[in-house]
Structure 1
Amino acid sequence: MNWGKGIVLGMSLFMAFIISMCVYMFNLPVDDYDHQYYEKGLNFNGDYNREQQVVRDNAQPLITQTAAGVAIEFKQPATGVIKLVNPLGKSKDLVCPLNTGADKHLSIPANKFTTGRWGVKIEWSSGKKHYLYQQNIFINGK
């Protein structure tokens, strides 16, 4: 084979690679990127302040896995939202309202979870203070 055929073959292979990558990128599911990327960037300082408030007040909730599910204990009565994020996609995510009352304890049943890694994001208020806490947990199989 002479060098002209080699150049044409190399360019053809490169073009096939680029076209296949374009097709692959356009066929990715919508979940693979964050639609609120810029809004989250604008709200970063507020989230950072709420995370630091957890550290200053030593208000980290205790998250434990029990046979009945996931138990979350707070230092003070809390109201807010718990978001449980599954890396397999947004369709598997859970959002639970949070209102502990006087017992400062919340339980999420095990039947809502699949085995694997979950991200827990808790946004709550206690008294007049607002908090944000994030942690990754691993749910064991039954």
Structure 2
Amino acid sequence: MNWGKYLVAGMGSFMLFIISMGVYMFTQPADDYDKQYYEKGLTFDHDYVREKQVAQDKAQPVISFSDNNLIVRFTQPADGSVKFEHASNHRLDKMFSIQSNAGNVVSIPLEQLSTGQWHLRFEWASLHKNYLYEQEVYLP
């Protein structure tokens, strides 16, 4: 029995497998990873504290739609911003500043926004506390 040719055949097939996996890896499209990953990691604790503050103070805003406007009701007077992030096209992202009126209500016009899935990121200050709230909405 000659084990040499089986050993060479086994090594050859393993090398062919490794080469084919390398070719397959380089023919795949580039990964869509977050280019801001490191910066977001550095600010994670700050964002986490602001999200917990919303839960502690029960300051979650109530979101509704009325006549092509987004109506946001806050529990306290709010001053900050809301970022609309489109799910499929980041070039459509928009930022609006918010400042609630006497009734703690903010109205945001939706004419300049396209239909589809949006991620809303509210960042505001109220009574010397900072808050962060995120929600997914679908704009018709």
| TM class by smaller structure | 0.7 to 0.9
Amino acid at match of 2:133: Y
Partner Cα distance (1:111, 1:18) in 2: 48
Mapped to 1, the partners of 2:22 and 2:116 lie a distance apart of: 35
**1:62 and 1:74 in contact (8 A); partners too:** yes
The range that moved more, 81-90 or 103-112, is 103-112
SS of the residue 2:59 aligns to: coil
What TM-score does the superposition give when structure 1 sets the normalisation length? 0.77
Q: Give 1:105 shift.
A: 1.4
CA distance in structure 1 between the aligned counterparts of 2:41 and 2:84, rounded to whole angstroms: 21
1:75 to partner: Cα distance: 1.0
Q: How does 1:1-142 map to 2 (within 5 A)?
A: 15=20, 19=23, 22-26=26-30, 32-140=32-140
Q: SS state of the match for residue 103, structure 1?
A: coil
Deviations 1:64-95 (A, max 9, x none): 12222211111111111101111112101111
Q: What is the alpha-carbon distance in structure 2 between the residues aligned to residue 37 and residue 134 of structure 1? A: 18
Q: What is the number of residues matched between the two proteins? A: 130
Please give the TM-score of this superposition, normalised by the length of structure 2: 0.78
> Counterparts of 1:125 and 1:135 in 2: how far apart (Å)?
18
Unpaired segments ≥5 residues, structure 1: none
Whose Rg is larger? Answer: 2
CA distance in 1 between partners of 2:108 and 2:26 (Å) = 42
1:25-84 C-alpha deviation (Å, 9 max, x unpaired): 24x7xxx33221112112111111111111111100011122222111111111111011
Q: Give structure 2 stretches of 5+ with no counterpart.
A: 1-8
Aligned sequence identity (%): 35
AA at the equivalent of 1:88? S
- How much does 1:23 deviate? 4.3
CA contact (8 A) 1:80 1:125 kept: yes
- Compared with structure 1, are the counterparts of its residues 59 and 20 closer, same or farther at alpha carbon in structure 2 (3 Å cutoff)? same
